[in-house]
Structure 1
């Protein structure tokens, strides 16, 4: 089954309660509200403001997303 999501790189700008983050997308002047995926949560990967991350965005709702990867 094909996933219909957009994968975009971005930078975390703000950490919010309940594992939510504001992420500024690279190449776009847009900030999206993101939560972390289950694999990142299960492996206790910490995300702090300033980290480069990969975000999955649903094409139907471009203002929310899911953080799926944190770059080193």
Structure 2
């Protein structure tokens, strides 16, 4: 599960930085490199990758807790 979580969270961070950079450039008065639809898709992909990463980390945590509970009960 951790194999999924870390790349997903890293991908979410990269996608969000691209989104944030595009927004920052537009706010500063420069031309943006993403259009409206591409900007929306970038934010959507960033959000989905973040959700996948957090859920994968939660699954890892629950698995570790279950393993600890079963080994401490012996």
Q: Which has the higher strand share?
A: 1
